Structure 1
């Protein structure tokens, strides 16, 4: 646990008018520091570590889709969570990625301070880099606590973002197939 981070959380508690020495808050700075380190552990990871050689020879050149990958991230503007799901597809060119690696790539980028638009792009670019696919598509749907708990306080709003690369950008039919399949 990072002592400097805990010290800063202690200062935040004082800053909002709390007493960090009261019984319920005595260990909160340490717990909050540990939680923040966990929530941002994507900074300590790389694509190479995540994939770890899990690319497998395959003659498949049809779309591979992993739907409903839950994700948890923190918005870089307010440090509040956004929670949702990612749908990821790629069209392989001789190699397929181990199934769990797709979800781990989503997690690696989500566990960084983010905006959803950039997160979507980072996942797509990462999958493209690792697989050398002819196309990659990523759609993320998420609820943002910064919109729900503060500001406009809209409880039912969902933000959707998409990035289409290669065949998904170039071919209307490929893109439509993907979008139909993720609607389930």
Structure 2
């Protein structure tokens, strides 16, 4: 009987140590590749895994698109791609490869009208600031994310998308370079 109790205690201690260790780990590029291993088309490159404004985000690409996703740990401590509603999906994506005659690529998506996401790849290196219209005549500055040679922007707002989607790009001197709404 003592051996059984000892084994149960050792298993409980081992499981607790495993869970504690896993929950202390930050996500890695390998965690993203593992979370998307069954996706089709397969993930080709992970550009970013970073904590931004208290949330873990990742940017990765496959043969057709570049995506931004939110990361969340499951009860075992493994990182999974989940939106704020707990669904396994990305926040937004943009086309890949990007057309060379554009200033930036972008997309907007609403998550059951609770959150809106604006995401894109900046192609023109003179663009230093992006603003997104999140409410009628109200603009929010998007987060610019630099990952080596690639540059992206991301903005999140409460509520549904404002139509038409108005995204403005500016130079470092404040000159308007491009606007999606003329």
Which entry has the higher C-alpha Rg, 1 or 2? Answer: 2
Between 1 and 2, higher relative CO (CA 8 Å, sep ≥ 6) is seen in 1
TM-score (structure 2 length as normaliser):
0.28
More helix by share: 1
The structure carrying a bigger strand percent of its residues is 2
How does the TM-score come out when normalised to structure 1?
Answer: 0.27
